[in-house]
Chains A and B, each alone.
Chain A
Amino acid sequence: MLKLLAQRFAFLSMILISLGLMLVGKADGVLVERVRLAVGDVVAPVIEVIFRPATAIANAVNGVRELASLRADNGRLREENARLMHWQTVARHLDVENQALHAQLNFIPDPDASFITSRVIGDTGGAFVHSMLINAGSRDGVRKGQAVVSGETMVGRIIDVGLRSARVLLLTDINSHLPVMVEGTRARAILTGDNSDRPRLDYLSPNANVAPGDRVVTSGHGGVFPPGLPIGVVSSVQDGVIRVEPFVHRQQLEYVMVVDYGLAGILPSDVSAAADSREPSARPQGPEH
């Protein structure tokens, strides 16, 4: 009887503890974050070792699949290469011209970027959270708020950093808000994730003309990411809701680069997740809803 009572009591207190944790976590408790990081650091290498065989099998399957499309790919790539060679010539020319003009204007250049390449070891959260674990952490130079790119394409940013692992918040996550612009018109907006495949373009100025197919790039406002990192193309404009199809999808990410652009930006070092959404200069007119 007494034992049953004790069990009931333990059960109830654990329920209260979980509810308490939700509230504390919501209030950005530094302690909660520390616990998170410590556990993450222990678990990350375990995940990595356990699933090495699974990764090997997946790679083998992929290899076979790629064989099938080798011929078609080759033709396509040849064509693309020819086109890119042309662009390379153009870019070289523009680069030289740009440097000359910069020199004449005493332009202050952006600081040079440094990269950390890292493997994606966990794709987590299912329908609720769009985030990933990577196997590089603070000892490799990863810092909170840094941009995460795949190739040249922006995929997300670092929100938690442990010693040897870090968590990437993808652009599609419901907590992701990113200052962007439409490349052709330079119209600014905020790219807001909503846990669907295609994030929304919010706070676009009403007279901006946006059509499907327009490229969306980072705007560099807020000083965290450099301007001009490609993100995706506008895929649909319906009832005032503009959706953006990202260039890179979650499942394609195997290796990502964490980029340090040397921009101190507006991210305070120890306040978590939604920090940039609180930054006033990155937030255009109009209330949050």
Chain B
Amino acid sequence: MDLWVRHLLPLGLTLLLVLMEAMPTHLPGFAEISPLLPLIGVYYWSIFRPDLLPAVMAFFIGLLSDIIMGMPLGVSALIYLLVQGTTASQRRFFLGKPFVVAWCCFSLVAVSAIFLEWALVSMLNGHLIPLPAVLFEMLMTVACYPLFSWLFGRAQSALLRDA
């Protein structure tokens, strides 16, 4: 029973990131470039515990994120699904490698994911979304990775050591 609850940790933390994204920060200019936090969760757990954050969950996290963000439905769902799929299939490559490798690969994933998001949203709107804010969103997302990755690492070693 206890183990079952602890196994919800990756999902719970990623959902928390979805909600955090919606938090009004009241910082000038921040809202437009706020990082795509749930991507960090999906990426991290796809490497370290893909059994606890399978593709279905990534899909539903994306769907929820679309609904909360007011994005065209399906965009984040597709993106998180693809990130989960690619990362989980390459996870053996990351195990035992230093943190910097994971971070570099994350920046690659984040840039491609947000670029895809940009293309999809622009297409669905019929207008190009201005790129500068999108580029800053990529930078912010990549810059936030170490902090959240560290927090997830602590949570993982404290609560998910069993398996």
Contact = CB atoms under 8 A, between A and B. Distances in A.
Given A19-B78, A174-B125, A174-B129, A129 B71 contact: yes
Contact of A122 (B24, B73, B81): B24
Given A126-B32, A127-B129, 17 more contacts: A11-B55, A14-B81, A18-B78, A19-B78, A21-B77, A25-B73, A43-B19, A122-B24, A122-B68, A125-B70, A125-B71, A126-B133, A128-B71, A129-B69, A131-B70, A167-B70, A194-B127
Closest 8 A/B residue pairs (Cβ): A21-B74, A18-B78, A127-B133, A123-B24, A122-B22, A25-B73, A18-B74, A22-B74
Interface stretch (A31-39, A108-116, A139-147): A31-39
A47 B22 contact: yes
A18 B65 CA distance: 13
Interface in A6-42: 7, 10-11, 14-15, 17-22, 24-26, 32, 35-36, 39-40
Interface of A: 7, 10-11, 14-15, 17-22, 24-26, 32, 35-36, 39-40, 43, 46-47, 50-51, 54, 58, 62, 120-133, 160, 167, 174-175, 194-197, 249-254
Mostly, the B contact residues are helix
A196 B103 CA distance: 30
A22 B71 CA distance: 10
Contacts, number: 158
B31 A126 contact: yes
B90 interface: no
B68 A43 contact: yes
Given A15-B81, A47-B22, A194-B127, A124 B74 contact: no
A22 B63 CA distance: 11
Contacts of B118: 127-128
A251 B72 contact: no
Interface in B35-74: 35-36, 55-56, 59, 62-64, 67-74
A21 B124 CA distance: 12
B29 interface: yes
Contacts of B29: 197, 251
Contact of A51 (B23, B27, B73): B23
B129 A128 contact: yes
19 contacts: A11-B55, A17-B59, A18-B62, A18-B75, A18-B77, A18-B78, A19-B74, A19-B78, A39-B68, A50-B16, A58-B25, A58-B26, A126-B36, A127-B134, A128-B129, A133-B22, A160-B70, A197-B29, A251-B24
B33 interface: yes
A26 B124 contact: yes
